[in-house]
Amino acid sequence: MILTYHEINSTSSPYVYSATVPELREHVQLIRSFSNFARSTRISFDDGHLSQFTQALPVLEKEHHRGMFFITAGWIGSRAGYMSWSQLRELAALGHEVQAHGLTHALLTQCTPEQLATELRNSRQCLQDRLGLPVNAISMPGGRWNARVLEACAQEGYRTVYTSHPYMKTKFAGGVTVIGRAMVRRSTTAPKLLALLHSEKEIWSRERIQFHLKHGLRSTLGDGLYHRLWRWAGNSGQSLAAYGDIPGGSE
Protein backbone atom coordinates (compact mmCIF):
# COMPACT_ATOMS: atom_id res chain seq x y z
CA MET A 1 0.00 0.00 0.00
CA ILE A 2 1.11 3.57 -0.69
CA LEU A 3 0.36 6.09 2.08
CA THR A 4 -0.11 9.76 1.24
CA TYR A 5 0.51 12.71 3.56
CA HIS A 6 -0.05 16.43 3.07
CA GLU A 7 0.91 18.76 5.94
CA ILE A 8 3.29 17.62 8.69
CA ASN A 9 3.21 19.86 11.77
CA SER A 10 5.11 20.04 15.04
CA THR A 11 1.80 20.11 16.92
CA SER A 12 -1.74 18.99 16.14
CA SER A 13 -3.58 20.93 13.42
CA PRO A 14 -7.32 21.22 12.69
CA TYR A 15 -6.63 20.48 9.02
CA VAL A 16 -8.08 17.06 8.15
CA TYR A 17 -5.11 16.00 6.01
CA SER A 18 -2.40 16.66 8.56
CA ALA A 19 -0.15 14.67 10.85
CA THR A 20 2.33 15.63 13.53
CA VAL A 21 6.05 14.91 13.39
CA PRO A 22 5.80 12.29 16.17
CA GLU A 23 2.93 10.61 14.32
CA LEU A 24 4.89 10.45 11.07
CA ARG A 25 7.90 9.04 12.91
CA GLU A 26 5.66 6.46 14.62
CA HIS A 27 4.10 5.51 11.29
CA VAL A 28 7.47 4.99 9.60
CA GLN A 29 8.76 2.95 12.52
CA LEU A 30 5.58 0.86 12.57
CA ILE A 31 5.95 0.08 8.87
CA ARG A 32 9.58 -0.93 9.34
CA SER A 33 8.74 -3.14 12.34
CA PHE A 34 6.62 -5.50 10.22
CA SER A 35 8.62 -7.15 7.47
CA ASN A 36 5.60 -7.69 5.20
CA PHE A 37 4.64 -4.00 5.41
CA ALA A 38 8.25 -2.82 5.08
CA ARG A 39 8.52 -4.60 1.74
CA SER A 40 5.22 -3.39 0.30
CA THR A 41 4.46 0.02 1.86
CA ARG A 42 5.66 3.31 0.43
CA ILE A 43 5.18 6.87 1.66
CA SER A 44 4.18 9.74 -0.60
CA PHE A 45 3.36 13.43 -0.17
CA ASP A 46 1.03 15.60 -2.25
CA ASP A 47 1.06 19.31 -3.15
CA GLY A 48 4.58 20.36 -2.07
CA HIS A 49 3.74 22.01 1.26
CA LEU A 50 6.76 23.55 3.00
CA SER A 51 6.27 21.34 6.07
CA GLN A 52 7.14 18.33 3.95
CA PHE A 53 10.65 19.73 3.69
CA THR A 54 11.07 21.27 7.13
CA GLN A 55 9.25 18.63 9.19
CA ALA A 56 8.88 15.40 7.20
CA LEU A 57 12.27 15.26 5.47
CA PRO A 58 14.30 15.07 8.73
CA VAL A 59 12.13 12.14 9.86
CA LEU A 60 12.57 10.31 6.56
CA GLU A 61 16.31 10.88 6.57
CA LYS A 62 16.75 9.74 10.18
CA GLU A 63 14.68 6.60 9.51
CA HIS A 64 16.43 5.96 6.17
CA HIS A 65 13.10 5.97 4.34
CA ARG A 66 12.71 7.39 0.83
CA GLY A 67 9.50 9.19 -0.11
CA MET A 68 7.66 10.18 -3.28
CA PHE A 69 6.78 13.87 -3.52
CA PHE A 70 4.02 14.85 -5.96
CA ILE A 71 4.33 18.56 -6.61
CA THR A 72 1.78 21.16 -7.76
CA ALA A 73 4.29 22.87 -10.03
CA GLY A 74 2.51 26.23 -10.34
CA TRP A 75 2.65 26.75 -6.58
CA ILE A 76 6.42 26.38 -6.25
CA GLY A 77 8.12 29.72 -5.71
CA SER A 78 4.85 31.62 -6.08
CA ARG A 79 2.60 30.52 -3.21
CA ALA A 80 3.35 31.10 0.48
CA GLY A 81 3.77 27.99 2.56
CA TYR A 82 5.08 25.80 -0.26
CA MET A 83 8.57 24.59 -1.10
CA SER A 84 11.09 26.45 -3.24
CA TRP A 85 12.87 25.04 -6.26
CA SER A 86 16.13 24.81 -4.31
CA GLN A 87 14.38 22.74 -1.64
CA LEU A 88 12.95 20.42 -4.28
CA ARG A 89 16.40 20.01 -5.78
CA GLU A 90 17.73 19.10 -2.32
CA LEU A 91 14.97 16.49 -1.93
CA ALA A 92 15.89 14.93 -5.26
CA ALA A 93 19.64 15.02 -4.46
CA LEU A 94 18.95 13.04 -1.28
CA GLY A 95 17.33 10.29 -3.33
CA HIS A 96 13.66 11.12 -2.87
CA GLU A 97 11.40 10.92 -5.91
CA VAL A 98 9.80 14.10 -7.27
CA GLN A 99 6.82 13.76 -9.61
CA ALA A 100 3.83 15.80 -10.78
CA HIS A 101 0.53 16.78 -9.15
CA GLY A 102 -0.79 19.11 -11.84
CA LEU A 103 0.02 22.74 -12.53
CA THR A 104 -2.65 24.51 -10.43
CA HIS A 105 -4.31 21.57 -8.62
CA ALA A 106 -7.35 21.85 -10.91
CA LEU A 107 -9.66 18.82 -10.88
CA LEU A 108 -8.64 17.20 -14.14
CA THR A 109 -12.04 15.63 -14.81
CA GLN A 110 -13.55 19.14 -14.91
CA CYS A 111 -10.99 20.60 -17.33
CA THR A 112 -11.68 21.29 -20.99
CA PRO A 113 -9.41 19.40 -23.39
CA GLU A 114 -7.22 22.49 -23.69
CA GLN A 115 -7.04 23.05 -19.94
CA LEU A 116 -6.30 19.38 -19.34
CA ALA A 117 -3.41 19.43 -21.81
CA THR A 118 -2.01 22.58 -20.16
CA GLU A 119 -2.25 21.14 -16.64
CA LEU A 120 -0.49 17.94 -17.64
CA ARG A 121 2.08 19.27 -20.11
CA ASN A 122 3.18 22.39 -18.25
CA SER A 123 3.46 20.71 -14.84
CA ARG A 124 5.66 17.96 -16.26
CA GLN A 125 7.80 20.31 -18.35
CA CYS A 126 8.23 22.79 -15.52
CA LEU A 127 9.45 20.15 -13.08
CA GLN A 128 11.81 18.61 -15.64
CA ASP A 129 13.26 21.96 -16.66
CA ARG A 130 13.78 23.24 -13.11
CA LEU A 131 15.04 19.98 -11.58
CA GLY A 132 16.82 18.39 -14.53
CA LEU A 133 15.15 15.06 -13.82
CA PRO A 134 12.66 12.94 -15.77
CA VAL A 135 9.03 13.22 -14.65
CA ASN A 136 6.86 10.32 -15.77
CA ALA A 137 4.32 9.94 -12.95
CA ILE A 138 1.45 12.06 -11.66
CA SER A 139 -0.98 11.85 -8.75
CA MET A 140 -4.52 13.01 -9.43
CA PRO A 141 -5.46 16.36 -7.83
CA GLY A 142 -8.50 15.82 -5.64
CA GLY A 143 -8.30 12.14 -6.50
CA ARG A 144 -10.42 12.78 -9.62
CA TRP A 145 -9.78 10.83 -12.81
CA ASN A 146 -11.58 9.08 -15.64
CA ALA A 147 -10.75 7.39 -18.95
CA ARG A 148 -10.32 10.74 -20.73
CA VAL A 149 -7.81 11.92 -18.10
CA LEU A 150 -5.81 8.69 -18.31
CA GLU A 151 -5.56 8.94 -22.09
CA ALA A 152 -4.45 12.57 -21.85
CA CYS A 153 -1.79 11.61 -19.29
CA ALA A 154 -0.40 9.02 -21.69
CA GLN A 155 -0.38 11.52 -24.55
CA GLU A 156 1.62 14.01 -22.45
CA GLY A 157 4.32 11.47 -21.60
CA TYR A 158 3.24 10.12 -18.22
CA ARG A 159 3.63 6.41 -17.65
CA THR A 160 2.13 6.03 -14.17
CA VAL A 161 -0.98 7.60 -12.61
CA TYR A 162 -1.60 7.49 -8.86
CA THR A 163 -5.16 7.73 -7.53
CA SER A 164 -6.73 8.09 -4.07
CA HIS A 165 -8.21 4.59 -4.02
CA PRO A 166 -6.32 2.44 -1.48
CA TYR A 167 -7.88 -0.85 -2.61
CA MET A 168 -7.46 -0.48 -6.34
CA LYS A 169 -5.48 -3.27 -7.91
CA THR A 170 -2.70 -1.94 -10.12
CA LYS A 171 -3.88 -2.01 -13.71
CA PHE A 172 -2.99 -0.77 -17.18
CA ALA A 173 -5.62 1.53 -18.69
CA GLY A 174 -5.65 4.36 -21.20
CA GLY A 175 -1.98 3.85 -21.96
CA VAL A 176 -0.77 4.26 -18.34
CA THR A 177 -0.30 2.13 -15.23
CA VAL A 178 -2.87 3.12 -12.60
CA ILE A 179 -1.95 2.66 -8.92
CA GLY A 180 -4.06 3.36 -5.82
CA ARG A 181 -2.99 5.12 -2.62
CA ALA A 182 -4.39 5.70 0.88
CA MET A 183 -4.80 9.20 2.32
CA VAL A 184 -3.49 9.75 5.86
CA ARG A 185 -5.57 12.04 8.08
CA ARG A 186 -5.06 13.68 11.46
CA SER A 187 -7.22 10.88 12.89
CA THR A 188 -4.87 8.17 11.59
CA THR A 189 -3.32 6.92 14.79
CA ALA A 190 -0.80 4.07 14.76
CA PRO A 191 -3.51 1.46 15.55
CA LYS A 192 -5.72 2.86 12.77
CA LEU A 193 -2.79 2.81 10.37
CA LEU A 194 -2.12 -0.81 11.26
CA ALA A 195 -5.79 -1.65 10.63
CA LEU A 196 -5.62 0.18 7.30
CA LEU A 197 -2.54 -1.76 6.20
CA HIS A 198 -4.17 -5.06 7.19
CA SER A 199 -7.38 -4.09 5.36
CA GLU A 200 -5.57 -4.28 2.03
CA LYS A 201 -5.94 -8.06 2.24
CA GLU A 202 -9.27 -8.18 4.13
CA ILE A 203 -12.23 -7.83 1.77
CA TRP A 204 -14.82 -7.25 4.52
CA SER A 205 -12.79 -4.98 6.76
CA ARG A 206 -14.38 -1.92 8.37
CA GLU A 207 -11.97 0.31 6.49
CA ARG A 208 -12.95 -1.09 3.09
CA ILE A 209 -16.67 -0.82 3.83
CA GLN A 210 -16.39 2.81 4.98
CA PHE A 211 -14.30 3.70 1.96
CA HIS A 212 -16.94 2.37 -0.43
CA LEU A 213 -19.70 4.15 1.50
CA LYS A 214 -17.84 7.42 0.99
CA HIS A 215 -17.55 6.82 -2.71
CA GLY A 216 -21.25 6.03 -2.83
CA LEU A 217 -21.88 9.42 -1.23
CA ARG A 218 -19.78 11.12 -3.91
CA SER A 219 -21.81 9.46 -6.64
CA THR A 220 -25.03 10.63 -4.98
CA LEU A 221 -23.95 14.24 -4.38
CA GLY A 222 -22.05 14.68 -7.61
CA ASP A 223 -18.38 15.53 -7.98
CA GLY A 224 -18.75 19.30 -7.59
CA LEU A 225 -20.89 19.30 -4.44
CA TYR A 226 -18.83 16.55 -2.86
CA HIS A 227 -15.60 18.49 -3.48
CA ARG A 228 -17.07 21.64 -1.88
CA LEU A 229 -18.07 19.58 1.15
CA TRP A 230 -14.58 18.08 1.32
CA ARG A 231 -12.91 21.51 1.09
CA TRP A 232 -15.13 22.87 3.87
CA ALA A 233 -14.25 19.93 6.12
CA GLY A 234 -10.55 20.18 5.36
CA ASN A 235 -10.32 23.90 6.04
CA SER A 236 -12.56 23.96 9.12
CA GLY A 237 -11.18 20.86 10.80
CA GLN A 238 -14.57 19.15 10.73
CA SER A 239 -14.80 15.40 10.33
CA LEU A 240 -16.66 13.70 7.53
CA ALA A 241 -16.83 10.48 9.50
CA ALA A 242 -20.60 10.37 9.22
CA TYR A 243 -20.23 10.44 5.46
CA GLY A 244 -17.60 7.75 5.23
CA ASP A 245 -14.55 9.99 5.58
CA ILE A 246 -11.96 7.35 6.47
CA PRO A 247 -8.30 6.75 5.59
CA GLY A 248 -8.01 6.21 1.89
CA GLY A 249 -10.33 8.87 0.54
CA SER A 250 -9.70 11.52 -2.06
CA GLU A 251 -7.64 14.57 -1.47
pTM: 0.83
At 35, the pLDDT band (50, 70, 90 cuts) reads: confident
Measured N-to-C along each axis, helices 113-131 and 85-93 cross at an angle, to the nearest 10 degrees, of: 70
pLDDT tens, position by position, 173-183: 999 999 999 99
pLDDT tens, position by position, 131-158: 999 999 999 999 999 999 999 999 999 9
**Given this model, what pLDDT does residue 199 score?**
83
Asked whether residue 245 carries a pLDDT value surpassing 60, the answer given is no
* Structural domain spans, the chain: 2-202
Mean of pLDDT values over 22-51 = 92
**Given this model, what pLDDT does residue 84 score?**
97
At 38, the pLDDT band (50, 70, 90 cuts) reads: confident
Q: What size, in residues, is the chain? A: 251
**Given this model, what pLDDT does residue 247 score?**
33
Mean of pLDDT values over 21-32 = 95
Three-state secondary structure of the chain:
CEEEECEEECCCCCCCCEEEHHHHHHHHHHHHHCHHHHHHCEEEEEECECHHHHHHHHHHHHCCCCEEEEECHHHCCCCCCECCHHHHHHHHHCCCEEEECCCCCCCHHHCCHHHHHHHHHHHHHHHHHHHCCCCCEEECHHHCCCHHHHHHHHHCCCCEEECCCCCCCCEEECCEEEECCEECCCCCCHHHHHHHHHHCCCCCCHHHHHHHHHHHHHHHHCHHHHHHHHHHHHHHCCCCHHHCCCCCCCC
Asked whether residue 57 carries a pLDDT value surpassing 60, the answer given is yes
**Given this model, what pLDDT does residue 47 score?**
97
Which numeric CATH code is attached to 2-202? Answer: 3.20.20.370
Across the strands, what pairs with 110?
none
